[in-house]
Amino acid sequence: MEKTELYRKVRGCLLGGAIGDALGGPVENWTPEEIHAKYGILDRFIPYDRPQSYHGHFGVGECVGVYTDDTRLKHLYCESIFRAGAKPRSGDLVQTIAEAYHSAPDDMHKGFLEDYYLKSVWQRDKVIFSGEPTNGAIMANSPLGLVTACRPTEAYQLGFDLAWFTDGYAKSASAIMVAAVAAAMRPECTVDEVIVSARDAHIDFTKRREGEHWPSFLYRYGPNLMFLDKALEIARDTRDVFQIRKPLYELLEWGHLFSEATHTLVVALSMFVAAEGDFEKSIIGSIMYGRDKDSYASVAGALAGAYCGDSEIRQDWLRTVVAANPSVDMDDYSRRLVEIIIKEHQSARRSFDDLEELL
């Protein structure tokens, strides 16, 4: 299994997201100027200079290479897939989160899960993240694109359905990300084909949901698409992850919300395009962009990892993250995901063959 391109892409996605998260975590909230003044181009792991927190890193001391809540939540998505033994339903994710909440070893783990868990309990009566369009789903849902590998339209719907703890355009942003990961799993897929597939999946669903005249109100119904298209034009013209930062800052609105879903989607995908799919450039560009850089780099790393596979990831990065986060064996998670993908493929092939006989 480990010699297949499928395994390499799955492993690249899981480890790629964790690496981006762990590289960006210590400098979250730093400006690009502050990072550059102290570290230059940040292409290495550095210690945290702040204590552990619910939505930051866990641990004491320097915690070099330790990832944050982005990756912890991503592993819960993985566990919901394992629970289902197939594409998960919302209930699989709810059960996974509930069990993790009630078996949390300490208040730090419990506090990280509390908002998600209480949303699953109270449902419409609970407005998660105070109703803000955060990147709570998009930062972690790349495994859904793996279990729907090569099927971006199906991936989009799965991402949308399992983003039940977000709403509005944050929910759509998370679905676009899942579709992009599924498209990136295709062999010989180009960077532009990844983007087009994810974009088309979003448009197809939006037309059904909003009606055929929705493009007339794009500013209201499609902020992800509106900002993404303009950002990708900048990325394609520049093809430089450092040069696109300034025009993206001018393009993207910025208010009080620190971790906003559209920013995460647009920055991560723009860096992926500007880097022409290169793993290292996608991540470093996301980190040096600033703002919520651990989430940007986690999303960009997951997408580029699915696109390039694990062979394109620096070995020193891999070793550091694996050693710093022993609680989850990401190689084991990769193998288990591949087994489920293969099982789903075999089932689909049998159905296809049966249908062929009916025609």
What domains, with CATH codes, occur in the chain? 5-358 (1.10.4080.10)
Residue 290 is predicted with a pLDDT of 85
Q: Mean pLDDT per segment of 10 residues, for the chain of length 359 residues? A: 94 98 93 93 93 87 92 98 97 98 95 95 89 92 98 98 92 97 96 97 90 74 88 96 94 75 95 98 95 94 98 96 96 98 94 94
Give, as one character, the DSSP assignment of residue 56.
S
- Contact at 8 Å (CB) between 27 and 287? yes
Query: Longest C-alpha distance within the chain, in Å?
Result: 67
Q: Which two tokens stand for residue 213?
A: 């005249």
pLDDT at residue 221 in the model = 67
The burial class, CB within 10 Å (0-12 / 13-18 / 19+), for 90 is middle
> With DSSP H G I counted as helix, E B as strand and the rest as coil, what are the percentages for the chain, rounded to 5?
70, 0, 30
What does pTM read for this prediction? 0.96
Distances from the Cα of 167 to the Cα of 38, 129, 172, 350, angstroms: 38, 10, 8, 37
pLDDT for 340: 98
Q: What is the pLDDT of residue 297?
A: 97
Length of the chain: 359
pLDDT score of 204: 92
Cβ density class 280-295: b for 16+ within 10 Å, e for less: bbbbbbbbbbbbbbbb
Other Cβ atoms closer than 10 A to 237 = 12
Contact between residue 135 and residue 170 where contact means Cβ atoms under 8 Å apart: yes
pLDDT at 219: 65
Residue 92: both structure tokens together: 């699989």
From residue 359, alpha-carbon distances to 55, 147, 347, 348 in Å are 54, 29, 19, 17
If one counts every other C-beta atom within 10 angstroms of the C-beta of residue 107, the result is 10
